[in-house]
Amino acid sequence: MKTFLKAATLALTLGASSLAMAEPVKIGLITTLSGGGAGLGVDTRDGFMLAIKQSGNKDITVVTEDDAQKPELAVQIADKMIQSDKVDILTGIVWSNLLMAVVPGAVAQGKIYVSTNAAPAALAGEKCDPLYFNAAYQNDNLHEAMGEYASKVYKKTFIMAPNYPAGKDSLTGFKRYYKGELASEVYTKVGQTDYAAEIAQIRASGADAAFVFLPGGMGIAFMKQYAQSGVKIPVIGPGFSFSQDVLPAIGDAALGAKASGQWAKDLDNAANKKFVPAFQAEYGRLPSIYAVQAYDAAQLILSAASKASVKDVKAFTAELNKADIQSPRGKFKFNTNRHPIQDIYLTEVVKENGTLTNKIVETIFTDHGDAYAKDCKK
Amino acid sequence: MNRETRVNLLLLVLLLAVPFVADALGQTFTVTLVTRIAILALAAVGLNIALGLGGLVSFGHAAFFGIGGYAAGILASHAMSGEPMLFGFEGSAQMPVIWIVAMLAAGLVSLAIGVISLRTSGVYFIMITLAFAQMVYYFAISWPAYGGEDGLSITLRNGFPGLNTMRPTEFFLVCFGVLAVALVLSALLSASRFGAALQAARQNEVRLASIGIAPMPIRLTAFVLSAMITAVAGALYADLNRFVSPSMLSWHMSGELIVLVILGGTGRLMGPVAGAALFVLLEFWLGGITERWQFFLGLILLVTVLFARGGVIGLFAGKERHG
Amino acid sequence: MTLALVIEQVLNGVQLGVMLFLMAAGLTLIFGVMGLINLAHGSLYMVGAFACASVAALTGSFWLGLVASLAAAAAAGALIEITVIRRLYQRDHLDQVLATFALILIFSEGTRWLFGSFPLYLDIPPLLQGAVGLPGGAQYPLYRLAIILAGALVAFGLYALISRTRLGMRIRAGESDREMIAALGVDIRTLYTLVFALGAALAGLAGAMVGALQSVQVGMGEPVLILAFVVIVIGGIGSIKGALIGALLVGSVDTLGRFLLPQLLALVVPPDQAGLIGGALASMLIYILMAIILAVKPRGLFPAQA
């Protein structure tokens, strides 16, 4: 009887929305759970599932599969999830190249895609799609923020990224806002692990800062080698270079490094104060930005599902677009191209109780969108 | 009809029947899965000509697979945008045209690679083919025009005259048709004088030379032919995924192609088909059970190499008959 | 371009070469003695790095970690030799490629099973922290100098082992005539296990030393493995001397290519284009080098046997 009463009051307080909730939603989560990039995928999955678990919503099922960071496998899994599991929404892909392989086909088949990380320029501008949402950022954003910051502080910057599209986007994004002089522009091999030659160039360049975008293992290798080289030029970079998943492996070499990010653990808002301890309690480690992004993607889906039926794609995406969530990032809304408009901060790597983490220093951009939104006409 | 022929026929009938039954039952994904089997089998049929018949262990066939894939991607993207490429050619979204371009491109590249690589033998050959494939791989990653590492999407699957390739069963029929042609070609080849000379070159080079046949041109022809067939498979694979990326060129892909051939049974006509079927099903089945599927896939491969020589076909059809 | 920069880059080339030599020496030794092509050599490198990182984290001592890396890699090597590799000596290269390819899958996923998906932390020992001054005003990391020294010691040790000791004599005999050495009553099975474990230990040592410079993560052995293959093919498979010279050649060409190509190109094209094209060419450079060398000398620079 007691439980019945509880349920009844709950139904009353939630009002009509709980009726729509009865519509089951099936979500396909494709992410990288094996191979070198598995750390990012594990955080994506855990962040996403935390939001689902907290909601207690039993009408939502999530099918998770490992893409092993292979585009062909991701496509195969997406096909399977759409054709065989009959999912309504796809999400979870970490890498731009995998996303580019999956999204055009998925939206062509009328499925909604909510990106938890990858945000290639191609899908933000002319080729944007009403069914494709990005809960993270646009790939260029964090690099743009570092360009803006470097303009204020430094006069001559050495810039470096891996020789692949995300790397080129990175340096383009940086240069879009950087007004000072460039000491040199260097592209490294994808997956490179020894940066002695590049560090020697930084030393000889006469720059007063080095902007470096090297995600994952590449960044770990670079930072450790840089710390040993005796070069004193400060290294700055986008948040990925110093996110929570790589910091323990870089070690103290990362201390003091400045980066840009749309979230940090110490961000002062109610949602964040709830999220960080909840994630730690559930998984026994600090969340990374990937976990936050996935957490928000899940929140977005949950919020839309409580107001519209997923079978009515138009109504559902309209609800998604309202972004009615409490993000640990604080302010969050969608731009006209369904990519976030959000604040971007300058962070610094510090040590707290023996654990390396990022701390917010200042705000670089307020309500920052992206450069491609104007080309998105759909 | 001997036992191997019966096993072979059974395999082909199964391969052809399953997609239609599945489609009738509404199991669209099964059709996709079997299409993938047919395409990988085609790639392996190509590799089997060099590897099984010629004994040329190419660890770089991903290069040709990827070149085929990029032929499909690049031609389709130009056909889509209407932007002319080389010599004012405006690309094409027709599979037969794409296959011809894929074969020409892979043929030329494999000719260049073959001329240098076939001067070496044994481990050197394995490694130099790997090195050439790595060259192509890094080129594709750093070449910005067609997407680099991000790859290239094919918005609409390329067409085939008289068929609607967007329908899974009709696209499967195209793939099955090409596979059947390649199998017939491969059977004719191994029974021909050329095939005999190729196998003789594998078994005893000196004897071949003593009857006045130089092994090099024979091997080179086999290598180029093998690359061309694999390239067509690459083009179909790009169409299946509606996407092509440098990972099709990676050395893991070369390794997987070798796995397909050996798993099925080296040098057997239908070995590549059996190998591809087993590999795709294993990957699918294990991937559904555990995140650690690569561990178990490795174990199964290892056991196959160590204890089941002759592959799947060998298991069902008994030892290879010589003569 | 200053003298200091040139000196630094040359040292970088040598250091990369020395690392590659540690990997290549094991590979070429195993091929020379047993005729086996081992793709799983990169996995042993990874085992060394993981052993070093976890023991160092546990005890706080890099040096204990280094010992652990040698022990763990040698043990893993001996284990796979006895259970798997031993059955492959009589097989053709095709079976060897496939079986050791399968071993890579098993090792990689197995390591992830044990250690999780996140990279491990391994730091340079305090003794070797920091940089030292070189003539010409250059600064160079002490740890990289230590790696060069360690590599030189290993090269010398290997030379002494093979040319001066009883074990070395058996190894040389095993390379030239397998039946003969068995007939002489040498326990060939034990000899092979020993040689394999020795090669594995060298790979493990390389993994541990590099682990302190990079990230210790699953799959870290694969890029190095391919480079090591390029090295032994250029040097001539089976030749330790070839491996040393090939390693230094590949190390220097790769490092200097990455550094010089964009600068050379910058003379003719705009700088951002030069960076892109130069970077692309530099990543293909060693494979081009290998193709040229094999086109001229199909059995490498120092063919081991006729």
> Is the pLDDT reported for residue A63 higher than 90?
yes
CB contact under 8 A, C99 and B302: yes
The CATH H-level (homologous superfamily) assignment of domain A141-261+344-375 is Response regulator (3.40.50.2300)
Contacts of A164 in chain B (CB under 8 A): 141-142, 148-150
Q: Report which of residues B165 and B232 the model is more confident about.
A: B232
pLDDT for C8 beyond 70: yes
pLDDT(A88) > 80: yes
pLDDT digits (tens, 9 = 90+) for C270-283: 776 777 788 788 88
Q: In chain C, what residues touch A189 (CB-CB under 8 Å)?
A: 258, 279, 282-283
Q: B301 versus A29: which is more confidently predicted?
A: A29
- Cα angle at C165 between C162 and C168, to 5 degrees? 35
Asked if the Cβ–Cβ distance from C279 to A188 is below 8 Å, we say yes
Provide, as residue numbers in chain B, all residues whose Cβ is less than 8 Å from the Cβ of C93. 57, 122-123, 126
Is A189–B138 a contact, with Cβ atoms under 8 angstroms apart?
A: yes
Within its chain, how far is the Cα of B14 from the centroid?
20
pLDDT-derived band at A155, boundaries 50, 70, 90: very high
Residue contact A75–B27, C-beta within 8 A: no
Q: Is residue C132 part of a domain?
A: no
CATH code for the domain of B75: 1.10.3470
Contact A228 C129 (CB under 8 A): yes
Asked whether residue C181 is assigned to any structural domain, the reply reads yes
DSSP character string of A299-363? HHHHHHHTTS-TTSHHHHHHHHHH----BTTBS-EE-TTS-EEEEEEEEEEEEETTEEEEEEEEE
Nearest-Cα residue of chain B relative to residue C106: B295
How many domains are contained in chain B?
A: 1
- Check residue A36 and give its pLDDT: 66
Residue in chain A closest to B153 (alpha carbons) equals A101
Domain count, chain C: 1
Residue A266: phi and psi, rounded to 5, are -95, 10
Q: What is the CB neighbour count within 10 angstroms for residue B15?
A: 22
Question: Do residue A79 and residue B29 have CB atoms under 8 angstroms apart?
Answer: yes
More confident residue, A354 or B71: B71
Which SS3 state, helix, strand or coil, does residue B2 take?
Answer: coil
Residue A7 has pLDDT above 60, yes or no: no
Contact B142 A163 (CB under 8 A): yes
Helix B122-142, helix C93-115: angle, nearest 10: 50
* A251: nearest Cα among A331, A97, A354, A360: A354
β-strand A258-261 against B243-244: which pairing, if any?
unpaired
Q: Is the pLDDT of residue B207 over 70?
A: yes
Residue with the bigger pLDDT between A342 and A190: it is: A342
* pLDDT-wise least confident of A111-115, A298-302, A350-354: A350-354
Which tokens go with A34? 């094996």
- For the ranges A50-64, B203-217, C230-244, C251-265, the lowest mean pLDDT is seen at B203-217
Q: What is the CATH number of domain A2-137+267-334?
A: 3.40.50.2300
For residue B264, pLDDT over 70 is answered with yes
The mean-pLDDT minimum among A110-119, A132-141, B118-127 falls in: B118-127
For residue A22, with 0-12 CB atoms within 10 Å meaning exposed, 13-18 middle and 19 or more buried, which class applies?
A: exposed
Task: Tally the residues of chain C.
Answer: 306
Q: pLDDT at position A349, please?
A: 93
| Single pTM value for the model | 0.84
Q: What is the rounded distance in angstroms from the CA atom of residue C211 to the CA atom of residue C121?
A: 8
Name residue B45's amino acid: V
pLDDT of residue B87: 66
Per-residue confidence (pLDDT) for residue B321, from 0 to 100: 47
Distance CA A28, CA A81 (A): 6
* CA A317 to each of CA A20, A94, A323: distance values in angstroms, whole numbers, following the listed order: 15, 22, 10
In percent, the amount of chain B with pLDDT more than 90 equals 41
Band of residue B318 on the pLDDT scale cut at 50, 70, 90:
low
Q: Is B134 part of the contact surface with chain A (CB cutoff 8 Å)? A: no
Count other C-beta atoms under 10 Å from residue B13's C-beta. 10
Going by C-alpha positions, the residue among B228, B240, B259, B316 that lies closest to residue B38 is B240
Residue ranges matching CATH 3.40.50.2300 in chain A? 2-137+267-334, 141-261+344-375
Q: What proportion of chain C, given as a percentage, has pLDDT over 70?
A: 94
The residue that leads in pLDDT, A126 or A63, is A63
A-C Cβ pairs (cutoff 8 Å, strict): 141
CB atoms C119 and A246 under 8 Å: yes
pLDDT tens per residue across span A22-43: 578 999 999 998 766 778 899 9
- Burial track C232-261 (b if 16+ CB lie within 10 A, e otherwise): bbbbbbbbbebbbbbbbbbbbbbbbbbbbb
Nearest by Cα to B99 from B22, B177, B166: B177
Q: B231 near B64, Cβ under 8 Å?
A: yes
- Crossing angle of the two packed helices C188-211 and C142-164, in degrees rounded to 10: 170
**Contact list, A120 vs chain B (CB under 8 Å):** 150
Please check the confidence at residue B67 and state whether its pLDDT lies above 90.
Answer: yes
CA dist A371 → A374, B55, C138 (Å)? 7, 55, 42
Residue with tokens 């009857």: B211
* Mean confidence (pLDDT) of chain A: 88
Q: How far apart are CA C63 and CA B206, in angstroms?
A: 55
Query: Hey, which chains touch C, using 3+ CB pairs under 8 Å?
Result: A, B
**Contact residues, chain B, for A124 at CB < 8 Å:** none
List chains adjacent to chain A, taking adjacency as at least 3 C-beta pairs closer than 8 Å: B, C
Chain B adjacent subunits, 3+ CB pairs under 8 A: A, C
Of A120, A24, A96, the closest CA to residue A63 belongs to A24
What one-character-per-residue DSSP string does A206-268 give? T-SEEEE---THHHHHHHHHHHHTT--SPEEEEGGGG-TTTHHHHGGGGTT-EEEES--TT--
Banded model confidence at residue C178, pLDDT cuts 50, 70, 90: low
DSSP state of C121: P
Radius of gyration of chain B (CA): 19
Q: CA of C30 to nearest chain A CA: how many angstroms apart?
A: 26
Q: Do B144 and A168 touch (CB under 8 A)?
A: yes
CB contact under 8 A, B298 and C280: no
pLDDT surpassing 50 at residue A1 = no
CA C94/CA C226 separation, integer angstroms: 17
The answer to whether residue B323 is domain-embedded is no
Higher-pLDDT residue of B313, A187? A187
What is the distance in angstroms between the Cα of C127 and the nearest Cα belonging to chain B? 39
* C306: confidence class by pLDDT, cuts 50, 70, 90: very low
- Which residue does chain A place closest to C258, by CA atoms? A197
Whole-number pLDDT of residue B107? 97
Task: Return the higher-pLDDT residue of B22 and B143.
Answer: B22
Q: What is the pLDDT of residue A128?
A: 92
* Pairwise CA distance, residues B63 & B129, whole Å: 9
122-151 in chain B: CB under 8 A from chain C: 122-124, 126-128, 130-132, 134-135, 138-139, 141-144
Is residue B322 one of the residues assigned to a domain? no
